[in-house]
Chain A
Amino acid sequence: QSALTQPASVSGSPGQSITISCTGTSSDVGAYNYVSWYQQHPGKAPKLMIYDVTNRPSGVSDRFSGSKSGNTGSLTVSGLQAEDEADYYCSSYTSSRTLVFGTGTKVTVL
């Protein structure tokens, strides 16, 4: 199972919006509405930000939103803030009943 493909880095100024893509195949991202997104600050455990493509867990800012089209999921962060600077990973359930993570994206707030 190959890792899902994400851009290595994305940057934006405070207040702007950024979008991170997550490209898989018809056996994972394209097959199920089980795309999740995680935020990870240096030295910390990942934190769930989006599940089932579009849903936010309780306590996650509504500045974070998710979507999917075909084999590509996306995470949008609107009103970018300094605290959003972190690594972001997508994941998907697969037809082999496994999970697969994306390659990770470093978000920089300029």
Chain B
Amino acid sequence: QVQLVQSGAEVKKPGASVKVSCKASGYTFTTYGINWVRQAPGQGLEWMGWINPYNGNTNYAQNFQGRVTVTTDTSTSTSHMELRSLRSDDTAVYYCAKFGGDNSLDYWGQGTLVTVSS
């Protein structure tokens, strides 16, 4: 069965960087894109970007351009999302999610809470 398992919660200081990982299993990793989505406390879903694991091509939401980098390691079927220059309003649960055969997100990780606080 398809599973996306994310790394554990993080606490960071303002200005620092965080790297969240997402390990996929149960399907051919290079076949479907991986997306990253975040949700601030009590707020809605915000799409951050996606990567094509087959060729490494990425596309990011304008709000995160220059501050986020998404990568993949095909040898371990893992995607990583790095967010730099953290601010308090980056405090959120960060999810990875797999594209289905279209532009929907059919499987999601369990989420990783990133807390930014001095």
Contacts and interface: CB of A to CB of B under 8 A. Distances in A.
A93 interface: yes
Interface residues of B, number: 24
B56 interface: no
Interface residues of A, number: 26
B59 interface: yes
Nearest to B6: A45
Given A45-B108, A45-B109, A45-B110, A99 B44 contact: no
A47 B35 CA distance: 14
Contacts of B62: 1
Given A1-B61, A45-B109, A45-B110, A101 B103 contact: no
Given A3-B44, A104-B45, A99 B108 contact: no
B59 A98 contact: yes
Contact of B102 (A45, A46, A52): A52
B106 A93 contact: no
A101 B104 contact: no
A101 B106 contact: no
B53 interface: no
Interface of B: 35, 37, 44-47, 49-50, 59-62, 95, 97, 100, 102-106, 108-111
Given A45-B108, A46-B95, A51-B106, 16 more contacts: A1-B61, A1-B62, A34-B102, A34-B103, A36-B105, A46-B37, A46-B97, A48-B105, A52-B102, A52-B104, A57-B100, A93-B103, A98-B49, A99-B50, A102-B44, A103-B44
